[in-house]
Structure 1
Amino acid sequence: MVRFGYTLMTEQSGPRQLVDYAVKAEAAGFDFLVSSDHYSPWLTTQGHSSYAWSMLGAVAYATHDVEMMTYVTCPTMRYHPAVVAQKAATMQLLSEGRFTLGLGSGENLNEHVVGEGWPAVQMRQDMLVEAIEIIRALHTGELVTYDGQYFRVDSARIWDCPEGGVPLGVAVSGESSIGRFAGLADHLIAVDPLAELIEGWDAAHPAPSRKIGQIPISWDPDREAGVARAHEQFRWFAGGWSVNADLPTPAGFAAASQFVRPEDVAESIASGPDLDELAESVQPFLDAGFTDVAIVQVGDEQQDRFVTEVARPLLQKLRTL
């Protein structure tokens, strides 16, 4: 059975609000929570970007059974992988085994802020391989020294380390990245509902694994208002991964998406009050073979109503697909 998650979108809500939404999402029946890990919002109209790890620590204490995950953390530039390993271990202990560390090669938007530039995609993937090797080694609880091409670790140990470490998911987008990461991670993360991704992953990673996707919707009692909000805050979504990974600032995303029309957004993001339409927009992920799909409710304006009034009946419809 497919599991459905709720997205804690740090770019569109403040940290206290996100903790409150997490509690209500668990009560509504979501199976898991995913959190973005950004330094900047995609667009200035979103208006937020708090530190995901502090918020997730609060969520771990405020919830009871719902699983949690970063979607996704880049462990190569803004954070050193040794620090990510420590943070993830602490989250696993705080949540009593409910945490999965989702990893990816990052976006310029968030990683350029430390002033180290933005490497080409091949280098970013090479860095991610080393980062995963370091995280895996540190999650054994043993003393680790590592001397790689991009990272060094000198006599490091995670002192509060969960038994068995932390499950790792990794974001992939095609055959090349599957080949690089299927042997290093436990689970697949992807934003495109492509059956070939699932088939390629299963061929390269025969052990049981989760395939975790994500899709935005814009529920609103008024369809036009839902479309308008999706256009205002999520029109960057139309750029695709190759564009979204490289633009450096919210101003850059605003410029790149200036000619995206509300009707263009409405074609890609289900909006309005029709729960059947919202649920059916998830169908491509189910057809492709994803085991988990996280829902993003666009914007903060209707977020509380979504998690308290809409989520439960929407989940019922999703589970009948």
Structure 2
Amino acid sequence: MVEIGFKLASEVFGPHELISYAKHAEDAGFDFASISDHYHPWLSQQGNSPFVWSTLGAISQVTEDLNLMTGVTCPTIRQHPALVAQAVATVATLIPGRFILGVGSGENLNEHIYGDHWPSAPIRIEMLAEAVDVIRTLWQGGMQDYDGYYYHVENAQIYTLPEELPPIYMAADGPIAATTAANNGDGLIVSGGKKEILDIFNKTGGKGKPSYSETSLSWAETDEKAVDLVYRWWPLMAIKGNISWDIPTQTHFEELVKNVKKEDIPEKIPCSSDPQVHMDKIKSNIDAGFDRICIQQIGNNQHEFIDFYKEEVLPEFQSGQKRL
């Protein structure tokens, strides 16, 4: 059974807008919403980056059935895992049974703000695995100590715990991260429906666990307008490779996207007014083996996009029930 989700892009929208989109997505029939957890937007013109835990608290008060998740939180440098454990416990108490903690190893753009050293990818993945262990230790309740290689917790107790602890999904973009997610996570998060990552996850211990793919596209009244939206709001979609994990500032990203040409965009991301193009993109993720697909609409026409999906796309995939 496949679930279709809606991406709440904290880089582009403020908290009031995100709350409104979450409610609209629920009313339109999306199964879940995933919200980004950043300190900075990728580009200055995107213009926002509200604190995710405050926004989730507000969303909890306007939704009734919509499952929610972070896509993704980095609990290693900017946010200590003991603090994330408390924040998530509170959110899961507010929305019992409908929250997933999505975690990843982070980007330099957000994580270097205290002046900390930015570790190599293998070290960041080790830190993430230990951070997840810290979180689960504190979720056991009672007074806890933790003496790990990267993290130390002394006399810490989370008093407000939900009756049902949320699952933890781990993001992966390479074989080391996929294997770590298989062994330490309750599910997998992949950007762009990369089947090779899911295959590694399944082969190294993750088979049978939920798998989540986030896919970006753009809808507008015409294909040309859809391309324009990407070019204005998220030209990074046309950049190849994984360089984004290591770039430290928006200024560097803005220099990078100067090389992007508008004609490059349709080759990298579906930009279409045709509902069949959107359905085909979702189906390609399903065919790759993913059972949760989150759609990120690039552009400032989010309400119009939600209505388009309600009428033209979601009925093709309606599951009739929700699950975590």
Segment drifting more, 164-173 vs 311-320 = 311-320
What is the aligned partner in structure 1 of residue 302 from structure 2? 303
Shift in alpha-carbon separation, 1:70–1:288, aligned structure 2, 3 A: same
Q: 1:138-287 counterparts in 2 under 5 A?
A: 138-206=138-206, 208-240=208-240, 242-287=242-287
How many percent of aligned residue pairs carry the same amino acid? 37
What is the aligned partner in structure 1 of residue 105 from structure 2? 105
Q: 1:310 Cα deviation (Å)? A: 3.9
Structure 2: gaps spanning 5 or more residues? 320-324
Segment drifting more, 198-207 vs 164-173 = 198-207
Letter of the structure 2 residue corresponding to residue 180 of structure 1: T
Q: Aligned equivalents of 1:312 and 1:154: distance in 2?
A: 53
Q: Aligned equivalents of 1:208 and 1:303: distance in 2?
A: 33
Contact 1:140 1:164 in 2 (8 A): no
Q: 1:203 Cα deviation (Å)? A: 2.5
Contact 1:275 1:317 in 2 (8 A): no
Contact 2:181 2:201 in 1 (8 A): no
Contact 1:15 1:55 in 2 (8 A): yes
The two structures have a TM-score, normalised by structure 1, of 0.94
Contact 1:235 1:260 in 2 (8 A): yes
Q: Aligned equivalents of 2:199 and 2:227: distance in 1?
A: 34
Structure 1: gaps spanning 5 or more residues? none
Q: Aligned equivalents of 2:285 and 2:106: distance in 1?
A: 23
SS of 1:117 mapped into structure 2: coil
Q: Aligned equivalents of 1:49 and 1:194: distance in 2?
A: 27
Q: Output the aligned Cα RMSD.
A: 1.7
SS of 1:267 mapped into structure 2: helix
What is the aligned partner in structure 2 of residue 28 from structure 1? 28
Segment drifting more, 268-277 vs 2-11 = 268-277
Q: 1:185 Cα deviation (Å)? A: 0.8
SS of 1:150 mapped into structure 2: coil
Segment drifting more, 198-207 vs 61-70 = 198-207
Contact 2:109 2:248 in 1 (8 A): yes
The two structures have a TM-score, normalised by structure 2, of 0.94
Q: Aligned equivalents of 2:20 and 2:8: distance in 1?
A: 10
Q: Aligned equivalents of 1:310 and 1:190: distance in 2?
A: 22
Q: Any idea what the Cα deviations from partners look like across 1:277-306, whole Å, max 9, x if unmatched?
A: 122123331121001010011122x11212
Letter of the structure 1 residue corresponding to residue 208 of structure 2: P
Contact 1:40 1:48 in 2 (8 A): yes
Q: Any idea what the Cα deviations from partners look like across 1:30-84, whole Å, max 9, x if unmatched?
A: 0001000011111122111111111111111110011000000000111000000
Q: Aligned equivalents of 1:155 and 1:215: distance in 2?
A: 41
What is the aligned partner in structure 1 of residue 322 from structure 2? none
Q: Aligned equivalents of 1:192 and 1:275: distance in 2?
A: 19
Shift in alpha-carbon separation, 1:23–1:164, aligned structure 2, 3 A: closer
Q: Aligned equivalents of 1:7 and 1:112: distance in 2?
A: 25
SS of 1:33 mapped into structure 2: strand
Q: Aligned equivalents of 1:119 and 1:285: distance in 2?
A: 31
